[in-house]
Structure 1
Amino acid sequence: MKMIFFFIHILYIFNESACSFSFRSDTYEVLKGIKLLNTYYTLSLNHNSTNTCAVYCLADIACVSANYNMVTTQCELNSKGPLDESANIEEDNEWRVLYSKGDLPPSSWELIFRGTAGIGVKIYDSYVGTISLPTHEVGCQLPVTHNLTCTTHYRDPILDIWSSQSILKVKVAMYKDSVMVMNMVFNNTDNGLNTDWYSPDQLIYSSYTDMTTVGITYNYFSIQGDEAVERRFYINNNYNGCPFDMGWIAVFEFGFTCSYEIGLQYPAFAYMPNNIMGQWDLKAFQFADALAIYIQSN
């Protein structure tokens, strides 16, 4: 490893511009205000350059991401990346994390949307892109399990070019106190609109054991949901009058119909906690803090 670092160091002394070109800033991404704690090697650079730190990481096959300190110019090589749910991350404004999505292992899940509960911004409009979202914290675009600051919704631009992407599967999950409380996985075989995959025909796994039972029926199963009453990402079994409505999950955007959705902090992410459907009016459901959507690509 020391020989590799020596070679890169000499290369920088004699031809720094060439080295910078070989690893241009558009080949890696920068996340500001965080650092990973999965460091295995530390270097003290003699000048301020994120490119230099990035190339040291590139030169080592064990390096998945790098921490770079904008004040001290210290460079740390990490064995994990910020998109890895098992990584240890802390918030620190002096640091930047340099990484490449191309380094994701095969079959990894990539976060493309995150909804934050109770912020007063509608999740459906945010997801389909009919409203503009404010600038988000870096924690919003990283796995919810990292428990970083996130006070808005996050939407990846890939949602605007959905049909042109090679997206194989989509996962939806809700989190309470940064712990996953439910999840579903869908095929994306039709490769149509960015809402088409959310259907019973595309469902291949659900943490709700009765959702995949033969003969189960739904009166709503879509991202748009029941538009008249603004229940989104809605998966429901039946309407028999509010006291007898049965379902699995819902995002309540603005409740005014049934007692169980009135007076909440919207959007409210409601889920049945026992891996089976429940009766809404009995308030058998609980509330999650975040809703996340991930994709798996070729």
Structure 2
Amino acid sequence: MRKFFIYILYVLSDAVCSLAISSNIYEVLKGIKLLNTYYTISLNHNSTNKCASYCLADNTCVSVNYNFVTKQCQLSTKSPLDESTDVVEDNEWKVLFSKKDLPPNSWELIFRGTAGTGVKLYDSFVGTVSLPAHEVGCYLPVTHNLTCTTHYRDPILDIWSTQSILKVKVAMYKDNVMVMNMVFNNTYNGLNTDWYSKDQLIYSSYTDMITVGITYNFFSIKGDEPIERRFYINKNYGGCDVDVGWIAVFDSGPTCSYEFGLQYPAFAYMPNNVMGQWDLKAFQLADALAIYIQK
């Protein structure tokens, strides 16, 4: 029955094959392949559009693999943007997908920072510095464990106030494993930095961050601007030896002894889900910082 259905799609696909790419229904990511596939079609000529049209005509299909060497077309029920999808790097393949096919309430990656690149994270986020071309892995969830050697910034950050964004999530990763995360409401219809505040925080993996009566001397993306501690959530100063906080992006330095030897930008977080004293080197360093939105 499946083969008959695929045959019917093949007969009808010429009517929709040019629609799939030309109308921007599908985006294309080169150099990766999804492992979660359920049917393979061998095409007799090189046609990305033809492959995409099969997915477009099958209600169970979310994305497709296309091999431009063997001309194989593989249908998948998964999106490469879904953290549960198995993705590998392979230069013979490319994936066609649509963001509209993500499951309800999914998190969409809009920014990813890579530690130690020498490019300031804050300037990259607010768009005051031009970023080099990024690998396809930078565009996808960190848990996919794909190559990413620079920062990635989605243009949606430039039209933030025009988008219907409900929530924003910030997470840090070490060895492709999430080590902390926070979720914020996006009730301000303003700058793309306004949501990062204690008033908008609705969840934190830090159990003491949302304790009633807790105070902060910094809680913002801009952070401590003169010394470039960004995405900074800190409880108190009083001399470097008594600084206490939760997370920080060190874009430059050092100012205090606990910043000596860092490769910038450095993504510092306190482990064990509670605040810590910076001078005791209680913090650890993450490899990546990711920001997601939910619409």
Letter in 2 for 1:98: L
Match of 1:183 in 2: 181
Contact kept in structure 1, 2:17 and 2:52, CA below 8 Å: no
Structure 1 unmatched ranges of 5 or more = none
Identify which of 77, 84, 87 aligns with 1:86: 84
Letter in 1 for 2:226: A
Q: Aligned partners of 1:177 and 1:191: how far apart in 2?
A: 35
Q: Aligned partners of 2:16 and 2:275: how far apart in 1?
A: 57
Q: Aligned partners of 2:282 and 2:190: how far apart in 1?
A: 35
Contact kept in structure 1, 2:207 and 2:274, CA below 8 Å: yes
Identify which of 171, 174, 177 aligns with 1:173: 171
Contact kept in structure 1, 2:224 and 2:232, CA below 8 Å: yes
TM-score of the aligned structures, taking structure 1 as reference length: 0.96
Q: CA deviation at 1:19?
A: 1.9
SS at match of 2:271: coil
Q: Aligned partners of 1:144 and 1:2: how far apart in 2?
A: 36
The CA RMSD over aligned residues, in Å, is 1.0
Q: Aligned partners of 1:263 and 1:88: how far apart in 2?
A: 36
The alignment covers a number of residue pairs equal to 293
Query: What pairs up with 1:135-214 in 2 under 5 angstroms?
Result: 135-214=133-212
Query: What pairs up with 1:5-154 in 2 under 5 angstroms?
Result: 5-12=6-13, 16=14, 18-25=15-22, 26-154=24-152
Q: CA deviation at 1:6?
A: 1.5
TM-score of the aligned structures, taking structure 2 as reference length: 0.97
Letter in 2 for 1:147: N
Q: CA deviation at 1:164?
A: 0.3
Q: CA deviation at 1:64?
A: 1.5
SS at match of 2:262: coil
SS at match of 2:211: coil
Q: CA deviation at 1:216?
A: 0.3
Q: Aligned partners of 2:135 and 2:173: how far apart in 1?
A: 18
Q: Aligned partners of 2:120 and 2:180: how far apart in 1?
A: 21
Q: Aligned partners of 1:158 and 1:44: how far apart in 2?
A: 37
Match of 1:220 in 2: 218
Contact kept in structure 2, 1:184 and 1:205, CA below 8 Å: yes
Identity fraction in percent: 77
Structure 2 unmatched ranges of 5 or more = none
Match of 1:232 in 2: 230
Letter in 1 for 2:62: V
